[in-house]
Homo-oligomer: A and B are copies of this chain.
Amino acid sequence: MNTITDLSSLRDALRVFCKERDWHRYHTPKNLVMALSVEASELVEHFQWATPDESQSLLPEKRAEVADEIADVLIYLTELADVLGIDPIVAARAKIAKNAIKYPPPHNPPFPKA
Contacts and interface: CB of A to CB of B under 8 A. Distances in A.
Given A37-B44, A38-B44, A55-B30, A94 B71 contact: yes
Interface string A34-73: 1111101111111111111111111100110011101111
Contacts of A23: 108, 110
Interface residues of A, number: 85
Interface string A9-52: 01001100100111100101111011111101111111111111
Which of A10, A75, A93, A114: most chain B Cβ within 10 A?
A114
Main secondary structure of the interface of A (DSSP, over half): helix
B95 A62 contact: no
Contacts of A110: 21, 23, 26, 49
A17 B1 CA distance: 36
